[in-house]
Structure 1
Amino acid sequence: MTANSGAAEPIAPTGAAMIVADIAIVGGGLAGSLAAAVLARAGHRVALVEKRAVHPDEFRVEKIGSQQLDVFRRLGFIRGLESMACPYDRVLNIREGKVVDVSVGQAYGFTYSHLVAMARGQIPDPSSLIIDEVTAVSCSDDVQHLDFASGRRLQARLVVLATGMAGVLGYRLGIRRRLLAAQHSVSFGFTIARRDGAPFDFNALTCYGERASDGIDYLSLFPVPAGMRANLFMFRDPTDPVMRELRRDTAATVLRLLPGLRCYLGDFLVTDRVQNWVMDLSIVEGHLQPGVVLIGDAFQTNCPAAGTGVARLLVDVERLCTEYAPRWLMTEGMSKEKISQFYSDPAKVAADQQSLRMARFRQALTSRGDIGWDVRRRLHFLRRKIIHRVDQARPGWLGRVRTALRA
């Protein structure tokens, strides 16, 4: 079956016992939904399999900016993003109550569930979304089969696992997850507002931790449709009593840990449920198998503080869906040799390695208390302050220097 042979045909109706598609994507979160939309718009018969018709309001990706927006443009999602997100282009960065610098560049804040809904909305044929649970998967060099809880079956040439850290299906195929760092980081997400209803005096703000012993990397504040969103990233034991304090008395605990924030936030309150996430760093093994490929967190997890998770996910989606999967479908078979091309893709390998490097760097820069890292931490923020002061005195000089270096 070639890439366009089924372009005019929908996948089999929902009530059919056997569903036939070119590509079956298991997992309807951001990675799976983006991949399904990209492939379906290219004319491939895609089945996106997800247990839930509406994705829950999970604490996952909540902002996108910088080079991530370039990928969204290339993949054709930028208008959809703009339609459901809050734009901002300046971030005030502070530490110990003092300005470090100001980040300038377009970014967007949103709710993860709305982002997933936007991606699913880009799939041309709504029947491509199959609400069911996969109970078994069998893969070969030719055709792959999925069994559903409803009793239906699906046949596809390629199976994409975009199941995040839920590894049950992979486990049944002999894929195992190797732990690199248990309880590497802890993240909190919540929304705040001033008690008097007035807007905050900043567009977006990042407050960095003040002491290595606190294990606080930074608190990021940015606009979302529901208000001012707060993401707090820490490298600290998840059983520490401060975690309970952050859940029970969030505002007071945040100000105690980051006293320099008080003059920027004024009298504020938390307006919604406080969510938190403990992240392990892990990577899969035994994943090179015929007919199946893993993307996003299903392949490797990320440190949320490092900000590389979305970048890695987008690299996976773009390289698989615009380069490899279309080419694989043009010839017979779905062998290990084909699948290995994706896993060895230079851009993917670089993104995966950079993600792990940044995870370890952020943890060390934040919480290492030895003199070497203490000096490095001081120099890191001092360099940023100096560059900011010079750029204020001579606006635009930094951009010109960077342009000259790239020439």
Structure 2
Amino acid sequence: MIAEKSATKPIVACEAEVIEADVAIVGAGLAGSLARAVLARAGYRVILIDKRLIPPDEFRVEKIAGRQIDILRRLGFIDDVEAIAAPYDRVLNIRSGKLVDIGVGRSYGISYANLVNMARGLTPDASSFLLDQVTNVSCSEQRQQLTLASGRRVVSRLVILATGMTNVLGHSLGIRRRMLAARHSVSFGFTIARPDNAPFDFDALTCYGEEATDGVDYLSLFPMSGGMRANLFMFRDPTDPIMRELRRDTRRTLLRLMPGLQPYLGDFEVVGQVQNWVMDLTVTEGHLRPGVVLIGDAFQTNCPAAGTGVGRLLVDVERLCTDYVPRWLETAGMGVDKIAQFYSDRDKLAADQHSLQLASFRQALTLNTDMRWNLRRKLHFLRRMITHRVDRIHPGWVMRVRSALR
């Protein structure tokens, strides 16, 4: 967190101060803050700009696992995540009250606001953070210029837009969002607890939807610093009356949708605020511009049920900030030939495509009722149940078979 007094004062009119930097990053969310940390650690002059000192407590990125942990470890930030996150290693996966399988592997539960504060704190130099608002951006093949609400100007060789789903600056550059699926999914986030604050009988739990007509993909329960967090992912019309029921009487509506949960949760209550999020799937067009590059949700949005958003973000940060930006800054100019290298990066393309494919798969697996998908749904869970039971009888068998098939 930025602690300097100058960073906490309201923005006031000032003389037209010009701030020089190698890279200017707009947006101090997770993507922008991590990008600044990587580039600043490499010795570049980086300016991070955001109009908010305190990151919003948004319902986003509450779990980190698998490949995401691997990237954070390569970037050198995993110890910082571990210091503020709640770790867990086992996930019970159930459907219709029956055990499907047990997921094993280190994961972390953490609120988005705490994660962003951690990322911002990775760069102790307070002068590299500007509490201000960008009102105009002008880009060219040589130098980029940002005009701020305070009257200051930032001049840099490269601008990174990490502005999330806000596209005001991108729009001014001719960058547009193309809608792939409006109101693709609906997510709910809330915290549950037992009346006596007794622990639950599991580290973490995933309960999959029982009927395609319910439009429920799954409920994920996992520990966070505030208690047992619940993320519910659905593919239903956001105006459906059940959305109002979930907000007003979350516990009863949840158990009506997923009655198999009751034996695992026992007596519990929903505590605190119930948050919900409606997600559109979009991609950008016209983004190949000199001197500016988009990362994270500023480039492409994700389906929360697919769980690929933070993974895509981390791939963007790692590839851009450890490979491309250092090479770009070695030579003069910042034309589209350089910028195109990042957008055509193999790892980035794979992450982007996988995110969209998994979003489509999760929706079809949840909703589609034709014969092919009904059969596929049954086989999907049956295969997992059989694999789990065989592995319990012959521990390590599944891993050996998978290794032999590679």
TM-score, scaled to structure 1? 0.95
- 1:402 deviates by 2.1
> What does residue range 235-384 of structure 1 map to in structure 2 within 5 Å?
235-384=235-384
Report the AA paired with residue 61 of structure 1: V
| Cα distance between partner residues in 1 of 2:192 and 2:100 | 23
| Cα distance between partner residues in 2 of 1:400 and 1:225 | 36
| Cα distance between partner residues in 2 of 1:145 and 1:197 | 54
- 1:196 deviates by 2.2
Structure-2 residue corresponding to 1:210:
210
| Cα distance between partner residues in 1 of 2:160 and 2:116 | 17
| Cα distance between partner residues in 2 of 1:42 and 1:252 | 52
| Cα distance between partner residues in 1 of 2:102 and 2:54 | 37
RMSD between superposed Cα atoms in Å: 1.0
Which structure 1 residue ranges, 5 or more long, are not aligned? 1-13
Could you list the per-position Cα deviations for residues 173-220 of structure 1 after superposition, in whole angstroms to 9, with x for gaps in the alignment?
Answer: 000000000000000001110112210000000000000000100000
- 1:396 deviates by 1.4
Could you list the per-position Cα deviations for residues 101-129 of structure 1 after superposition, in whole angstroms to 9, with x for gaps in the alignment?
Answer: 00000000011100001111111412111
> What does residue range 74-93 of structure 1 map to in structure 2 within 5 Å?
74-93=74-93
Asked if 2 retains the 8 angstrom alpha-carbon contact of 1:41 and 1:124, the reply is: no
The percentage of counterpart residues that share the same residue type is: 70
Structure-2 residue corresponding to 1:54:
54
- 1:404 deviates by 2.7
Structure-2 residue corresponding to 1:134:
134
Structure-2 residue corresponding to 1:405:
405
Aligned with 2:273: secondary structure? coil
Aligned with 1:352: secondary structure? helix
- 1:26 deviates by 0.3
Asked if 2 retains the 8 angstrom alpha-carbon contact of 1:163 and 1:298, the reply is: yes
| Cα distance between partner residues in 2 of 1:249 and 1:186 | 17
Structure-2 residue corresponding to 1:146:
146
| Cα distance between partner residues in 1 of 2:138 and 2:178 | 23
| Cα distance between partner residues in 1 of 2:138 and 2:74 | 34
Task: Tell me, yes or no, if structure 1 residue 45 matches structure 2 residue 45.
Answer: yes
| Cα distance between partner residues in 2 of 1:124 and 1:86 | 24
Report the AA paired with residue 233 of structure 1: F
Structure-1 residue corresponding to 2:160:
160
- 1:77 deviates by 0.7
| Cα distance between partner residues in 2 of 1:91 and 1:371 | 30
Report the AA paired with residue 191 of structure 1: T
- 1:272 deviates by 1.1
Could you list the per-position Cα deviations for residues 344-384 of structure 1 after superposition, in whole angstroms to 9, with x for gaps in the alignment?
Answer: 00110111111110000000000111111111000000000
Structure-2 residue corresponding to 1:114:
114
Structure-2 residue corresponding to 1:20:
20
Could you list the per-position Cα deviations for residues 269-303 of structure 1 after superposition, in whole angstroms to 9, with x for gaps in the alignment?
Answer: 11110000000000000000000000000000000
| Cα distance between partner residues in 2 of 1:127 and 1:188 | 37
Which structure 2 residue ranges, 5 or more long, are not aligned? 1-10
Report the AA paired with residue 209 of structure 1: G
